[in-house]
Chain A
Amino acid sequence: MSYEGYRNEAEECRIKISMYEQKMAESTARSLRHIDEAYQSGAEAGKMLDEQNEQLGNIEVNLDNIDSSCGKADRELTQIQTVFGGVVNYFKREKSTLKNSENSTQPANKEIPKLQSSVPVVARGKPEPKTVVDQNLDQIDNGLDILSEMALQLGDQIDDSNKKLDRIYDKQENVNTKVNKLNKKINRMC
């Protein structure tokens, strides 16, 4: 091959190497974008779960109030039904069948750590591709740490919500039974 041929071949190899490095930089930049979007979605989910946890807490409080009202209504009915209902109520201590929402205190919501600026560093004044790849890989590492922490927090929130839902289910069963009893009692009186 002539010298020109060798030079063309060398040029080809140089192009191949720079293409490889560019591919690496682009691949890592895309990975960073995925991490960014995953973080946004996770933060949104966390916010919604927070609000829902608060609403579940309100539901629990409402059910407690309903239960308490049902108990009192039952005593009023007793008082109305018989002459000595008042005497009976005087000596009857109010029973609270439902546990107070002792666990309704929401866990201190840890602040979701902020993702450092994960704008993919693809080209800033066209630095050397290797530097870009290294920076991107560092940011990917940081981003993955934050995502894993966020996932754990979301998991805790979901566990808390699940426990609340279990309690709400039990409470609403109790309340349902009490309201039915009261209805029957009132219907008998009528």
Chain B
Amino acid sequence: MSRSLLELDKYVQTVLPNDLSRLEDHTDKLSRYLSQGQRILFQEEERDAKSTLRHLKSNLKILGNITAGLSQRDLREANKTIDPMRIRIEKVVHKFQEVCPGPTLLNVESLSHSTSEQDLMMAQEEIGDSRWQNVTMSPLEVQEVITPEQNVALQSAETLQKDLEEIQMLFIELAELAANQNAPIIRLEQHTEQTAQHIGTARNSLYYASKLKAAAFPVAGAIIGGMIGGPIGAVAGLKGAAIVGMGGVSIGAAAGWGIKKFHVWTSDRLHEKDD
């Protein structure tokens, strides 16, 4: 057996199976993380899977280089071991692509051909966003997210604002009501003031009327005295009539004057009580 075949055998029996089993392991973990929505773990596992894939690719490249140097006879011999491995690689990679879709990184069919590293590295995997549609997001760099409690706090703040707006409207209405009753109260005050003045004036007029009335008392007294004394004196004679009459007039006038004084005194007393 040639040296190349031995080397090929080593790769096919040992190296590639190791890579494939690791890739299978990665695929299992990725599908589990995807179903659980653990994006961070998925990302880390994906990185590891990519690394394994690159390793697999480089091993396949080496294998391709080995097979390129084989003779036709050895190549026929080698294909017997390479074909099953090829099928297995296709299965594992296909399963991996189901979890991480993207352009194929491997061209298993061209195992015999060498592929450049650049071609391999240029196959960028894009994780479709559609896989994460039903998964809750947990951003790596942000420590906190808007929690339901914060939403409740925001709603409470807005409710508080509305309530305070209502309170403000109540105070404004109160101020308007107070302003509206200003004019009637001012009118009321003016009216009562005027009424008090009028009543005061009327009372003064009555006071003076009372005094004027009192002035008539001496006159009335004199007349009454004369009318009573005159006839009585006339019985005694003319002289007696004159004397008694005069006396009656004087007494009447004096009585009237006394009544007037009393009258005026009471009026003054009433009037002074005001001052």
Q: Which residues of A contact B (CB under 8 A)?
A: 1-2, 6-7, 9-10, 13-14, 16-17, 20, 23-24, 27-28, 30-31, 34-35, 37-39, 41-42, 44-45, 48-49, 51-52, 55-56, 58-59, 62-63, 65-66, 68-70, 72-73, 75-77, 79-80, 83, 85-87, 89-90, 94, 140, 147, 154, 172, 179
B207: CB under 8 A from chain A?
A: yes
Inter-chain contact B146/A17, CB cutoff 8 Å: yes
**Known A17-B145, A44-B175, A73-B199; contact A34-B267, beta-carbon cutoff 8 A:** no
Inter-chain contact B192/A31, CB cutoff 8 Å: no
Inter-chain contact B167/A34, CB cutoff 8 Å: yes
User: Digit string of B175-203 for contact with A (CB within 8 Å is 1, else 0)?
Assistant: 10111011001101100110110011011
Docked pose: A45 CA to B161 CA in angstroms? 23
User: Digit string of B134-157 for contact with A (CB within 8 Å is 1, else 0)?
Assistant: 000101111011100010011001
Task: Given contacts A24-B157, A51-B182, A65-B199, list 16 more A-B pairs with CB under 8 A.
Answer: A1-B127, A10-B141, A10-B142, A27-B157, A34-B167, A41-B171, A45-B171, A55-B186, A59-B188, A59-B192, A62-B192, A66-B196, A79-B213, A89-B266, A89-B270, A140-B164
**Known A42-B174, A89-B266; contact A80-B213, beta-carbon cutoff 8 A:** yes
Inter-chain contact A65/B206, CB cutoff 8 Å: no
Which B residue sits closest to A178, measured CB to CB?
B199
Docked pose: A51 CA to B185 CA in angstroms? 10
25 contacts between A and B (CB under 8 A): A6-B140, A10-B142, A13-B142, A20-B150, A27-B158, A27-B160, A30-B161, A34-B168, A55-B186, A58-B193, A59-B188, A62-B195, A65-B199, A65-B200, A66-B195, A69-B199, A72-B271, A76-B270, A79-B267, A85-B263, A86-B259, A87-B262, A140-B160, A147-B167, A172-B192
Inter-chain contact B203/A48, CB cutoff 8 Å: no
B109: CB under 8 A from chain A?
A: no
CB of B153 to closest CB in A, whole Å: 7
CB contact between B175 and one of A16, A42, A51, A68 (< 8 Å): that residue:
A42
A55: chain B residues at CB < 8 Å are: 185-186, 188-189
Inter-chain contact B168/A94, CB cutoff 8 Å: no
CB of A162 to closest CB in B, whole Å: 12
A16: chain B residues at CB < 8 Å are: 146
B87: CB under 8 A from chain A?
A: no
By CB atoms of chain B within 10 A, which of A37, A41, A51, A140 has the most? A41
A77: chain B residues at CB < 8 Å are: 206
Inter-chain contact A41/B200, CB cutoff 8 Å: no
A27: chain B residues at CB < 8 Å are: 154, 157-158, 160-161
8 A Cβ contacts from B187-235 to A: 188-189, 192-193, 195-196, 199-200, 202-203, 206-207, 209-210, 213, 217
Inter-chain contact B267/A62, CB cutoff 8 Å: no
CB contact between A70 and one of B127, B140, B189, B199 (< 8 Å): that residue:
B199
The total of Cβ contacts below 8 Å across the A-B interface reads 170
Interface size of B by CB at 8 A reads: 62
CB of A35 to closest CB in B, whole Å: 6
CB of A89 to closest CB in B, whole Å: 5
Inter-chain contact A6/B139, CB cutoff 8 Å: yes
CB contact between B270 and one of A2, A41, A72 (< 8 Å): that residue:
A72
CB of A38 to closest CB in B, whole Å: 4
CB of A178 to closest CB in B, whole Å: 10
A23: chain B residues at CB < 8 Å are: 154
CB contact between B168 and one of A38, A44, A66 (< 8 Å): that residue:
A38
Docked pose: A1 CA to B175 CA in angstroms? 62
B3: chain A residues at CB < 8 Å are: none
B119: chain A residues at CB < 8 Å are: none
A37: chain B residues at CB < 8 Å are: 168, 171-172
B207: chain A residues at CB < 8 Å are: 76
8 A Cβ contacts from B239-275 to A: 259, 262-263, 265-267, 270-271, 273-274
Docked pose: A73 CA to B135 CA in angstroms? 98
Docked pose: A51 CA to B183 CA in angstroms? 12
